[in-house]
Amino acid sequence: MRSALNDATSTETTLHSRRAIIVLVCLAAALSYATPRLLASLLLNLQTEWPLWPGCAILVAILMLVHTKMWPALILVSFTGFVLFDLNAGVPVASIAWFVPANTVQVLTAAIGLRYYFGSRVPRLNNVNSFVKYGFVAVLLAPGLAAFVSARGIPGDYWTSWKTSFLSEVLALLTLTPAILSWFSEGPAWLKKPRPYHVEFAILTATTVLLGYFVFAADTKSDSPAFLYSLVPLLLWSALRFGWIGITSSMIIITFLSVWGLIHERGPFNALETENSMLLLQLFLIVAAIPLMILTAVVQDRKLAGEQLVRLSRSLIEAQEEERKRIARDVHDDYTQRLAMLAIDVETLAEKVEDSSHETKQELLNFHERIRDLSTDMHSLSHQLHSSTLESLGLVAGIRGFCGEFAETEDVQVDFTHENIPRQIPGDVALCFFRIVQEGLRNVKRHSGSEKANVRIEWSRQGLHLTIYDEGTGFDLGTNPPGGGIGIWSMQERLRLLGGRFQINSHLNLGTRIEAWLPLKIE
């Protein structure tokens, strides 16, 4: 019975896999024919000379998203779509005979090269090294080799045709392919962003369309090349704020509008009154895109490094808490009990000593007191390392208990107040604020010279707010804080990992005030 169920499940999986393959192959065929047809109808009835040829760029992106065993079928149906479009567009058969091998060289060179560099994973251009690899294989090598073949299918001078073919493929592979790969790899995370982020992206897109239309496509006399600089802030906005999805989407919008405007004799490049206006536009778009994409790669690289640093900080803090818990458990369950047993044995021995040995008995009693004090200190240390009160009774009880122990052991008066603190405080939040109180009060003892400290924690709809202040010596915020700032860094990092804010106000001889805020909604 189980074998039959397994066979049925395997058959169902195979059917779904085959269905997905069929859908993908049909989609590739449709895109290969429909995309250039749509682009041609929006621009003009183009034949052999294209400012941007989208077919191979889209196909390379699709190949990067699937297993290599599907490449032959996808390439076959895509090339069929290319040929059908060329025939319907009136491209001579002799030209098509050159375009097919050229496209084959280009697609295979780009796909194999990217698989060699990036393996089976989807290429992500989130650092300069990855972008350089992609640029060398897909943007430079593949179009360059293909242009030597396809140039023979374009009427006119060979090297002029070579430049036309090369630049049209470069522009497509520089914009379309990274856009498709970025939306596929980063799109799911992008969709989970908060609504203000999506609204901002919509505003950026709409502004880019409007300004791009005014610069490149509007039927006005404002065709000076100086207007091109007005797009720089938008491109920087898209690169720095939205990464690869932003910069590639913006470049596609600007590329389409600028090409449309030039073909319809509008925009700054049309005003140049030169036969090479299309070539100059292609060079402008390529030269504008490359540094912005390098900037995007650098920003993404630093962002990833920051995210890794955050994960490392969180892992270190979690490991520290686990180690503290282990040590506290060992101290409480082992060493404290052993000291207690030793104290009992010493006290028993002191009672057995005869009255004539008064000095020896007194020394044993003193020894017993020292052992008991040491046991008390170790018990306090165990609670500081890991507060069972905090874990079992909550944030308020944990902080109150620590403030009481701290005042007793360190001879510092601690006034603790709280307001509206709910019992349902998450464990990580409670531990964060408990550690901030610990470190803050220790700094009061070590550095402020004050004999009194105040701790207040309150909750409102805005979240938790913790305040620790004293009237001690204070310090100059422009210099390194006392103790090298390691404790302050620990407080800041703990709060930052939870999305909170941390602030210190201090002046010489006027005391220090530590404040921590954390947005927290309690149902």
Q: Which amino acid is at 304?
A: L
Q: 234: closest CA among 267, 260, 257, 201?
A: 201
Pair 75, 25: CB distance under 8 Å: no
What are the tens digits of pLDDT across the range 287-313? 999 999 999 999 888 887 777 776 767
The shares of helix, strand and coil residues in the chain, as percent rounded to the nearest 5, are 75, 5, 20
Domain boundaries in the chain? Answer: 15-182, 307-386, 387-523
| Distance (Å, whole) CA 32 – CA 244 | 24
pLDDT for the residue 286: 92
Arithmetic mean of pLDDT, 213-222:
74
193-230 burial: b if 16+ Cβ within 10 Å, else e: eeeeeeeebeebbeebeebbbebbbbeeeebeeeebee
Asked if residue 146 lies in contact with residue 165, where contact means CB atoms within 8 angstroms, the answer is yes
Burial of 141 (0-12, 13-18, 19+ CB in 10 A): middle
CA distance 100 to 501: 60
Q: Domain 387-523 adopts which CATH fold?
A: Heat Shock Protein 90 (3.30.565)
C-alpha gyration radius of the chain: 35
Which of 4-8, 62-66, 230-234 has the lowest average pLDDT? 4-8
Q: State the Cα–Cα distance between residues 223 and 210, nearest whole angstrom.
A: 15
Q: Token digits for 354? A: 């005869």
**Range with lowest mean pLDDT among 136-140, 156-160, 379-383, 493-497:** 379-383
More confident position, 453 or 268: 453
Answer yes or no: pTM beyond 0.85: no
List 459's β-bridge partners, or say none. 464
**Token pair of 73 as six digits:** 């079928």
| More reliable by pLDDT, 56 or 371 | 56
Q: What is the pLDDT of residue 386?
A: 58
Q: Give the three-state DSSP class for 275.
A: coil
Secondary structure (3-state) at 498: coil
- How far apart CA 462 and CA 518 sit, in angstroms, is 8
468's enclosing H/E stretch is strand 463-470
**For residue 16, what pLDDT is reported?**
44
